[in-house]
Amino acid sequence: MDWLKKFMYGRSGGDQLSIFLFCISILLTLVGQIVGISLLIMISYIPLGIAIYRIFSKDVQKRRMENYKFAILMSPLYAKFKKVQNRITCAKTHKYFKCTKCKTALRVPKGKGKIMVTCPKCKLKFSRKT
């Protein structure tokens, strides 16, 4: 294992973008196998080659900037995923409503019966059953 440490010294290694490229490559390969399109399987080697190149690259600063730009591009998707995950986690204890005026998402505890909900953004009051 010492030889691997020596080999990888000064190289960028795996990051989020490389993992994403690997996943795209695997997905394209699977779809190509299922559908039977050999061109799709050949295309799947492109992201795989780019990912391997990125992992073994010694230009660490350039790879870091590429990964940073990828992270910025993916952050809205990641935030949306986290929001949905949070709603699923809190589904047993809370109920979600949208304000009729400003469309702000409001979270209220479940099992309180009919309550008056006040929107913190526009101060509109309306009653809802929880």
Q: How confident is the model at residue 116 (pLDDT cuts 50, 70, 90)?
A: confident
Half-sphere exposure of 42 (CA within 13 A, CB side): 3
The structure's pTM equals 0.67
Q: Which segments of the chain does DSSP mark as H helices, in order? A: 2-8, 16-35, 38-43, 45-56, 60-89
Domain boundaries, the chain: 1-89, 92-130
State how beta strands 94-98 and 105-109 pair: antiparallel
pLDDT tens figures, 86-97: 888 888 888 888
Q: How far apart are CA 27 and CA 52, in angstroms?
A: 17
pLDDT tens figures, 4-55: 888 888 888 889 999 999 999 999 999 999 999 999 999 999 999 999 999 9
pLDDT at 4: 83
